[in-house]
Amino acid sequence: MSIFDLPVSQKETGMSPRTSEQYKEMRESKRNLIMKSALKLFAKNGVFNTTINMITQDAGISKGLMYNYFKSKEDLLRSVVFQGINKLLVLFDPDHDGVLTKAELKYFIEETFRTIQEDIQFWKIYFSVLSQPQVLKIVGNKFWEILNPVSKILKNYLKNNNYKNPEIETQFFGALMDGICINYILDPDNFPLEEIKQKVIELYT
Amino acid sequence: MSIFDLPVSQKETGMSPRTSEQYKEMRESKRNLIMKSALKLFAKNGVFNTTINMITQDAGISKGLMYNYFKSKEDLLRSVVFQGINKLLVLFDPDHDGVLTKAELKYFIEETFRTIQEDIQFWKIYFSVLSQPQVLKIVGNKFWEILNPVSKILKNYLKNNNYKNPEIETQFFGALMDGICINYILDPDNFPLEEIKQKVIELYT
Amino acid sequence: MSIFDLPVSQKETGMSPRTSEQYKEMRESKRNLIMKSALKLFAKNGVFNTTINMITQDAGISKGLMYNYFKSKEDLLRSVVFQGINKLLVLFDPDHDGVLTKAELKYFIEETFRTIQEDIQFWKIYFSVLSQPQVLKIVGNKFWEILNPVSKILKNYLKNNNYKNPEIETQFFGALMDGICINYILDPDNFPLEEIKQKVIELYT
Amino acid sequence: MSIFDLPVSQKETGMSPRTSEQYKEMRESKRNLIMKSALKLFAKNGVFNTTINMITQDAGISKGLMYNYFKSKEDLLRSVVFQGINKLLVLFDPDHDGVLTKAELKYFIEETFRTIQEDIQFWKIYFSVLSQPQVLKIVGNKFWEILNPVSKILKNYLKNNNYKNPEIETQFFGALMDGICINYILDPDNFPLEEIKQKVIELYT
DNA sequence: AATGAATGAGAATTCATTCAT
DNA sequence: CATGAATGAATTCTCATTCAT
């Protein structure tokens, strides 16, 4: 058994079989409605070009209600970004303490590519936030906390597989994945994500 | 002769030795002063969090004067980005029609890493612009026009060196460089740019 | 029955007697408040010399609220002008298809003079708009649509009363009324509107 | 001999025959150049939508030079309007002290219609100024000083021709001419100025 | 919980006017 | 005379946020 044995989708849908889509829809809180609209519009127009008005109209609620759920626009952005980060926590499971096998690394890479494709809206916002110094403050270093354990596990793997400089190699890997992500985001229709994935897997396993 | 035979720095400093710093300073037009301030502040605070007031105050001029030189804030941003892009044109010389040698590729990679370090302010703005959908429109596809010839040259090189899939390899290389750039930008003090550069050079030459 | 059988004032005041002034005041929407202030100030200072600030201060509301009701200053001006034009629609009833009697024409002229006096603010703005080429575009040709049926009816009347050149006579009549209006507007206290009205009535009936 | 015995054009061109067009052009001062451009642009775009920049560019001079000749934009407008008014002074000669003959009145009306056509730019500005309260202050009551003697002469004529109420008739005449002027200005191509002129002449002579 | 009218600080932009050269 | 770079007050408009209902 490994950290990657249970894909995100299974975990998420791991609810009682009698839970209908309709019921799920009903239970979906206003809060999630708002965040969904925010995610969509932030990704589409950028954070600064998305007004509270646009979000509440898209969510079909009033401006005032939004402020019942979120302290401010900044709070909403933070919530949207953290929601995305938390979803990644499952993928980047920090509790893995053993040694990563080749198969597990392959699985990890595959999962990462899957999230790039699946959560493109989140990644758009995420990179937008990264490159907006003032916005970056909002998110703070939460992301690094998540990434750190992952990078440790990876470093160990690389050390065990006789890579000369595991520290540098880890940074290299991180940069590579960021670059792939940003390139896919900018032109999802033309970027050969699948082929690039194969090349990354070959390179590391 | 090669595309890399005349580095930017030589061309730029290729002025008469008796040209004093003071003279240079005097000749530096107001336009450049404004763009310098804009570059600095856009990079530091992000485009949206930088007001015309901040720029003109930093440049030591009045708000109105800025509008004598630039039609709008958008025009100023465009000018700043294009200035940076044009500076890259020398590096990414599109006129190279022969076959790239190993030494030339090494030189190209080194130059690319140099600009990442030297023009960090430009790259910050550039990635900020890339990840702001509404801002991206402003710059348009000028950048792709520049990058296209470069990617062709690289593709040829990879083909000639028996890489299996030059097309994919080229995209991979581009993504890698983007990722390195973005990682360096986010934490210039801790990112091991020099070591990463060596790894990239080893990988490709 | 005639086009002039129901004067504006009767229609407007044709509300239930128990409707108190206070109630009317209460129901008067913010939108009308703003338009009232705009009408007053546009007439007093001219469109260009009236700022949004002045209007909202006069209306006792905030700047932002004005933009909840009107898209822009231009939109506000358009609304004010159209409101005035629509008020005239009752007077210049385009549905009259029979032949104008002498009494009806007399009534029409009297009503026209009444509106000149009563809606002096509107007419000030109207002539101001007419003589500002750039502002004229805003209002467009709405007014001509209204005036056209009126001029047709008048032309018929003149034809039936053996005027030699009804077309020219109609234009003459229009010019005369415009001139009277503009002269009254410029100096309401000294222009002998009543006597001029009598002369016009004598001239045409 | 009468007040109308010497048409404007003769008076204006009453210069030495050896004065060539070229020479005239040369002697045409910068001041007139500026006023010419201002007249044109004020009439075309309205006073508020015409900037000093537009005027000086049209005149082919620098902004600074304009301020050598005119104290302010207001001063320029005043000068343009007064120049037009002074041109009218010849037409509305205040020195006529005898009794107006029918022929003279006919001539006066004809001259008035001629100026409406010939000086359409001036009249556009003039009515624009009239209907802009703030702008009206600029011109002041200069125009009324001119008009007063004319109206006296006209009043006398009407009295001598047994009109019942010369005072009212004079105001009526003035309003009529204003209305004709404004209607012609708004649509010079379609307004039947010549036919209206004939009607006015018939009416009064 | 829900609404949306109301606020007002703050942003971009314009343009008449000045003044050193 | 002539220039046009430079100024900054004034204006329109935006939008996150509040609050009475």
What is the overall mean pLDDT for chain A?
Answer: 83
Chain C residues in contact with D133 by the CB 8 A cut-off are 44-46, 49, 124
Q: How many Å apart are CA A165 and CA B50, to the nearest integer?
A: 41
% helix / strand / coil in chain B, to the nearest 5?
75, 0, 25
Q: How many Å apart are CA A1 and CA A3, to the nearest integer?
A: 7
Count helices and strands in chain C by DSSP H and E runs: 12, 0
Quick one: pLDDT at residue C151?
86
Quick one: pLDDT at residue B93?
66
Q: Check whether B94 has a pLDDT greater than 70.
A: no
Which chain C residue lies closest to D184 (C-alpha atoms)? C175
Give CATH for domain B78-204: 1.10.357
State how far residue A185 is from chain B, nearest Cα, in angstroms.
Answer: 9
Which residue has the closest alpha carbon to E15 C1'?
A: D51
**Confidence band of C1 (pLDDT split at 50, 70, 90):** very low
Q: Please name the member of D167, D168, D175 whose beta carbon is closest to the beta carbon of C176.
A: D175
Residues of A engaging B, defined by a Cβ cutoff of 8 Å: 44-46, 48-49, 124, 127-128, 130-135, 165, 167-169, 171-172, 174-180, 182-183, 185-186, 191-192, 195-196, 199
Q: Identify the H or E element spanning C51.
A: none
pLDDT tens digit sequence for A9-18 = 333 333 344 4
State how far residue D96 is from chain C, nearest Cα, in angstroms.
Answer: 25
Whole-number Å distance, CA C165 to C1' E11? Answer: 60
Per DSSP, the residues of A80-94 read HHHHHHHHHHHHT-T
* DSSP helix/strand/coil, C32: helix
Q: Check whether C24 has a pLDDT greater than 70.
A: no
Q: How many Å apart are CA D33 and CA C70, to the nearest integer?
A: 42
User: Rounded mean pLDDT of D17-36?
Assistant: 66
Q: Check whether C63 has a pLDDT greater than 60.
A: yes
Nucleotide in closest CA–C1' contact with A62:
E3
Which residues in chain D are classed under CATH 1.10.10.60?
8-70
Give the pair of three-digit tokens for residue A85.
């980060």
pLDDT tens digit sequence for A142-155 = 777 777 888 888 89
Whole-number Å distance, CA A72 to C1' E21? Answer: 54
Q: How many Å apart are CA A100 and CA D71, to the nearest integer?
A: 84
Give the pair of three-digit tokens for residue A48.
């600064």
Angle made by CA atoms D8, D13, D14, in degrees to the nearest 5: 95
How many CB pairs lie under 8 A apart between chains C and D? 113
Q: Which of B3-17, C116-130, D158-172 has the lowest mean pLDDT?
A: B3-17
User: Rounded mean pLDDT of C175-180?
Assistant: 96
Which chain A residue lies closest to B191 (C-alpha atoms)? A171
pLDDT tens digit sequence for D90-99 = 776 656 666 7
Quick one: pLDDT at residue C110?
94
Q: Please name the member of C46, C192, C196 whose beta carbon is closest to the beta carbon of D134.
A: C46
Which residue has the closest alpha carbon to F11 C1'?
A: C51
Q: Which of A21-35, A142-156, B171-185, C78-92 has the lowest mean pLDDT?
A: A21-35
CA atoms lying within 13 Å on the CB side of residue A108: 23
Quick one: pLDDT at residue D192?
96
Quick one: pLDDT at residue B180?
97
Whole-number Å distance, CA D62 to C1' F4? Answer: 7
Q: Check whether A1 has a pLDDT greater than 70.
A: no
Positions on chain E within 7 A of a protein C-beta: 1-20
Those chains having 3 or more beta-carbon pairs within 8 angstroms of chain D are C
Which residues in chain B are classed under CATH 1.10.357?
78-204
Positions on chain F within 7 A of a protein C-beta: 1-20
Chain A residues in contact with B112 by the CB 8 A cut-off are none
Domain C8-70 has CATH 1.10.10.60: yes
**Confidence band of C64 (pLDDT split at 50, 70, 90):** very high
**C-alpha dihedral (B46, B51, B56, B58), degrees to nearest 10:** -50
- Across the interface, whether the CB atoms of C196 and D174 are under 8 A apart is answered no
Quick one: pLDDT at residue D29?
85
Q: Which of A78-92, C138-152, D69-83 has the lowest mean pLDDT?
A: C138-152
Chain C residues in contact with D120 by the CB 8 A cut-off are none
Tell me which residue has tokens 């990354």: A200
Whole-number Å distance, CA B60 to C1' F8? Answer: 14
Which residue has the closest alpha carbon to F15 C1'?
A: A51
Q: Check whether D6 has a pLDDT greater than 80.
A: no
Most confident of A98-112, C24-38, D65-79: D65-79
Q: Which of C45-59, C177-191, D7-21, D32-46 has the lowest mean pLDDT?
A: D7-21
CA atoms lying within 13 Å on the CB side of residue D16: 5
Quick one: pLDDT at residue C5?
32
Best residue of B123, B126, B131 to probe chain A, by most A CBs closer than 10 Å: B131
The share of chain A scoring above pLDDT 90, in percent, equals 56
What is the overall mean pLDDT for chain B?
Answer: 83
CB C124 within 8 A of CB C43: yes
Quick one: pLDDT at residue B145?
76
